[in-house]
Chain A
Amino acid sequence: MVRNIVILGGNSHPALTENICNILGLPVSNRTLSKFSVGETRCEIKDSVRGKDVFIIQSGGGSVNDHLMELCISTWCHMSLTANLEEPVLTLKLVISACKTGSAKRVTAVLPLFPYSRQPDLPYNKAGAPLSKPPTEVPKDKYTFESVPATPAPGIAHTPSFNKDTDLSRAMSRTSLTNGHGPVNGTSRVNGESSTAIDQTPAPARPGLTTLHTQSFTTHDLQNPTLINTFQAKPGYKRWVAQAGTLVADLVTCAGADHVVALDLHDPQYQGFFDIPMDNLYGRPLLQRYIQQNIPDYRDAVIVSPDAGGAKRATAIADSLGMDFALIHKERRPTRITDRQNATMMLVGNVANRVCILIDDLVDTANTITRAAKLLRKERATVVYALITHGVFSGDAIQRINLSAIDKIVVTNSVPQIEHRKLCPKLDVLDVSPVFAEAIRRIHHGESISVLFQYD
């Protein structure tokens, strides 16, 4: 039993909050997080938090923007609350500084999956010029490995979903993908074009869940090529996608968080976006333990990084377990101009007749990982495991994995995985709550958390 801690869970991942509370021997704090009928988030905290050390747990999966607002408002709740207890007539700003120096304790935002931590840029070639020509031939009816996933970028057509002539998909159509955290539909609209383009755009359809077949699986309206084609940057201007990383860091700070805890940030540099202490925990010990306990003769297996960016993460595991390492390199040079996303993949290292373990931090559309697995299988790997910290599985990722050469995919529950497990027999889930519980306990007691970084 740890005293004077209040643990609050957002709506994104109540199961994880509950696990963490159980480990710490605490009740989950009583709160209401709902929405007014207009769609504004409403937060009410039922328990007193005066002088307490508050931890707010909110993950990044599902309807990210709603969850982010929830986090900010609950954090804000604490700030204004403590403010009011101190001195109701003072202006808010004064009181916040008063409660920070005074009796009020801190508010820590625990974000197992940090939202907006990975914002891909537009596709570009080696000289830095954008590859603005959209792929001309997109298979409309067949799902293949060459299909481009719903990679978030303008000009890239989204992957067609399964259709009924695939046997597997017919089997899967009995299970609807209602994974409980909001619709998978998105909206998009092109501005600055003719008014007809605006009028044609359907009203944003939010509520209601999409099943696999009834509505073709749009992650955004990129399936409507006219919409994308109407969006052209002004001549001479290189269009660019806004990178929201710093903004999110600033917003969380601005809501009043004093401390942020995250797990396996996509870029470790992200810590530098914050002016407040930020602890980046590692999922590595969990993955390492899984390898040691669940993979027979793991010392003969090969750790593979599916792209150059994750090489460091993968080599760290390979080094500490004394295993071999291989790397898949994505050649950006397009082989055919019509197929620019079909980057050639090159394997560096030997995997023939061996067990391969792919290591990455995040699987979203699962394009990289499934293509890597395909390549490994082609290079005569015997078994392909994929060990990944965050399993977002957006779009048609689950189907992609089910069809892929991956034999076993292991993720942590930093994002709710219950629905994913139902759909993917290859999926194993590791529990990260002990890591967070221990980090929370140590942060609360002012103990060092660097022990959590030592794995060996």
Chain B
Amino acid sequence: MGDMANEIKLLSGNSHPVLAKLVADRLGIDIAKTLSLNYSNQETSVTIGESVRDEDVFILQSTAPGDINDGLMELLIMIHACRTASARRITAVIPNFPYARQDKKDKSRAPISAKLIANMLQTAGCNHVITMDLHASQIQGFFNVPVDNLYAEPSVLRWIREHRGTEDVVIVSPDAGGAKRATAIADRMDRGFALIHKERPRPNVVGRMVLVGDVQDKVAILVDDMADTCGTLAKAAQTVKDHGAAEVIAIVTHGILSGDAIKTLNDSCLSQVVVTNTVPLGDKVERCSKLRVIDISPTLAEAIRRTHNGESVSFLFNHAPA
């Protein structure tokens, strides 16, 4: 009977079924039968089609641009449904944590929405969270349950080695906040590092940029955790180019690419934009010839497998499963 209960049950929300399928294939399991609908009054309804009693439930939900709140509510309802259905443990797999940028009180009366999301997930009944490249790793402290913050870095490093080589490369952080992430990659590759300092007058608007470091005649790789409207990226790329870089590439974990991002990227001086598939990209790959996608489902699948078997996850912080 030991193999009857407490197996991995992978549930998928509506936001990113493609990633869920990749993860399930990697794990060699089927996605659990669920059906989520929007009622005519726009409330979300979730139906679970198989037993989750005493199982180890993993619910994968990403953030589809424009549908964040619906996706979030769907995730919360799914968690709650599994809890009321006596699941042994419920792990929310959220490759791109929503509201991660609202993580501090940067001005009076600004909400720390990331903390609210953390509270909501726990209120719904989540026992564990697996996420990737949190905007600020301190968000882990918002939770009272374990949070595994995976890194796309090993996958990114592999991509650079396989597709660009490491000759003449300089890693550039497009803002001061991402300096640590960029230096980590630069160190691992033993290559140079530069930083762009920017002034941001309002959200989603980019001000003046100053480059610190040398990019002359090098292949500059801009590294960041997320690209939303891509205003920052395009301006940063231009700044780097103006300082004499031979070529500019951007590698971004979460390619949200909302608003006019695709147009901005197409018009920019970036030669390639590399994102992971944490966020559904839809038809953006067709609309932007510069876009390259790294599949991070092996990392997620391995994290799920290790979490389920009670093995250490820290191996994944430095190694990308093949």
Show the binding face of A for B, using Cβ within 8 Å: 36-46, 48-49, 61-66, 68-69, 72-74, 76-77, 80-81, 84, 92, 115-116, 119, 122, 149-150, 152-154, 182, 184, 186-193, 195, 198, 201, 203-204, 206-207, 219-222, 231-234, 237, 239-244, 246-247, 250-251, 253-255, 364-365, 392, 394-395
Contact = CB atoms under 8 A, between A and B. Distances in A.
Contact of B123 (A116, A207, A254): A254
| List of 9 A-B pairs having minimum Cβ-Cβ separation, nearest first | A186-B38, A219-B40, A242-B81, A152-B39, A192-B33, A395-B40, A37-B259, A394-B40, A77-B111
A72 B120 contact: yes
Contact of B111 (A80, A203, A244): A80
24 contacts: A36-B258, A38-B65, A39-B67, A39-B258, A44-B107, A63-B42, A65-B44, A65-B69, A69-B69, A152-B43, A153-B45, A188-B14, A198-B17, A203-B282, A203-B283, A204-B67, A219-B38, A231-B33, A233-B33, A234-B33, A237-B49, A240-B48, A242-B80, A243-B84
A191 B12 contact: yes
Given A187-B67, A191-B34, A220-B38, 20 more contacts: A37-B65, A37-B228, A39-B258, A80-B112, A81-B105, A81-B111, A119-B43, A186-B37, A189-B14, A191-B17, A204-B14, A204-B66, A207-B66, A233-B50, A242-B80, A250-B124, A251-B120, A251-B123, A254-B123, A364-B41
Contacts of A190: 35
A423 to B, nearest CB: 16
B120 A234 contact: no
B154 interface: no
B48 to A, nearest CB: 7
Q: Is the interface of A mostly helix, strand, loop or mixed?
A: loop
B63 A76 contact: no
A22 B14 CA distance: 42
Interface stretch (B71-79, B170-178, B308-316): B71-79
B1 to A, nearest CB: 17
Contacts, number: 241
Contacts of B69: 39-41, 63, 65-66, 68-69
Contacts of B282: 203
A191 B41 contact: no
Contacts of A184: 40, 42
Contact of B32 (A191, A220, A242): A191
A191 B35 contact: yes
A233 B258 CA distance: 36
Contacts of B72: 65, 69
A219 B43 CA distance: 11
Contact of B43 (A116, A192, A233, A250): A116
A192 B73 contact: no
Nearest to B119: A254
Contact of A80 (B50, B77, B105): B105
B124 to A, nearest CB: 6
A207 B80 CA distance: 28
Contacts of B44: 64-65, 244
A42 B41 contact: no
Contact of B36 (A63, A188, A207, A394): A188
A455 B21 CA distance: 58
Given A187-B14, A192-B34, A395-B40, A73 B113 contact: yes
A112 B47 CA distance: 27
Given A44-B109, A72-B120, A365 B40 contact: yes
A222 B38 CA distance: 10
Contacts of B31: 191-192
A364 B120 CA distance: 28
B256 interface: yes
Contacts of A81: 105, 108-109, 111
A73 B40 contact: no
B252 to A, nearest CB: 14
